[in-house]
Amino acid sequence: LAKTTQPISMDSYEGQEVNITCSHNNIATNDYITWYQQFPSQGPRFIIQGYKTKVTNEVASLFIPADRKSSTLSLPRVSLSDTAVYYCLVGDMGNQGGKLIFGQGTELSVKP
Amino acid sequence: IAGITQAPTSQILAAGRRMTLRCTQDMRHNAMYWYRQDLGLGLRLIHYSNTAGTTGKGEVPDGYSVSRANTDDFPLTLASAVPSQTSVYFCASSGWGSYNEQFFGPGTRLTVL
């Protein structure tokens, strides 16, 4: 099982770029890397997903090195509303629904 | 209904009682999941179902059971609740395949006394 490790917390200021790294040393060939955002009293919400190299969408970028043993979620120019917990998820939802492992989550605090 | 709904929103339950948490999705997703979330432990998978009629055990299945009689519903049952099952429970669903994101419900806050 691809267990993940993330920093427990991070602080940032409005307008800065934030990079959150997740380690997943035992990632399998068919595993994808997915990041979720969670606000208090809400369910997690999908941010971005990737397999290798770089993926970018309207809210974030995901960087995955060639060995895929880690990944970095990059949030450009954060605002106060980005204060949330961010989870890294590694797994193959196609064939191993029971093998999905969430990380501990990184609590991001954005200050004015 | 739009997305995933869970019921009840919250519940206080006496230890030893039976409880069923309900989850319904209207996205025709094949896969559904139940997670529990505890402070400091993140999200842990309890049970999952890749398609109607099949279920599987996740990371922390003991004390819980599930059924998947149809595509839309995925109830989670605590046969005899214990205080350690006090948690926030999230149901999620996804389409089949590695690209598919999980959509989460709003959660059920359960307290077992």
- pLDDT above 60: residue B98: no
Could you tell me the two tokens for B9?
Answer: 């929103």
pLDDT of residue A30: 84
Q: A64-105: per-residue pLDDT in tens?
A: 999 999 999 999 999 999 999 999 988 876 655 556 667 789
- pLDDT above 70: residue A24: yes
Residue B99: pLDDT band (50, 70, 90) is low
Q: Are B101 and B94 in contact (CB under 8 A)?
A: yes
A92 vs B88: which has the higher pLDDT: B88
Could you tell me the two tokens for B50?
Answer: 């890749």
Query: Considering only A11-15, A69-73, A87-91, B63-67, which range has the smallest mean pLDDT?
Result: A87-91
Contacts 24+ apart (CB under 8 A), A70-73: A70/A21, A70/A22, A70/A23, A70/A24, A71/A21, A71/A22, A71/A24, A71/A33, A71/A35, A72/A19, A72/A20, A72/A21, A72/A22, A73/A19, A73/A20, A73/A21, A73/A22, A73/A35, A73/A47, A73/A48
> Cβ of B101 and A41 within 8 Å?
no
Mean pLDDT of chain B: 92
**HSE-up of B17 (CA within 13 Å, CB side)?**
14
> Cβ of A103 and B101 within 8 Å?
no
* Residue A41, min C-alpha distance to chain B (Å): 8
pLDDT of residue B40: 74
pLDDT of residue A104: 80
Q: Which residues of B touch A30 (CB under 8 A)?
A: 98
Task: Please compute the mean of the pLDDT values over residues B63-73 and round it to a whole number.
Answer: 97
Could you tell me the two tokens for A45?
Answer: 């919400």
Q: A42-56: per-residue pLDDT in tens?
A: 999 999 999 999 999
Task: Please compute the mean of the pLDDT values over residues B11-36 and round it to a whole number.
Answer: 95
A101 vs B20: which has the higher pLDDT: B20
- pLDDT above 60: residue A26: yes
In whole angstroms, what is the distance from residue B95 CA to residue B102 CA?
Answer: 8
pLDDT of residue A2: 62
Q: Which residues of B touch A44 (CB under 8 A)?
A: 43, 90, 102, 104
Of residues A51, A93, A102, nearest to B97 (C-beta) = A93
> Cβ of B99 and A32 within 8 Å?
yes
**CA distances, A28 to each of A7, A109, A112, B12, B46 (Å):** 22, 32, 40, 41, 22
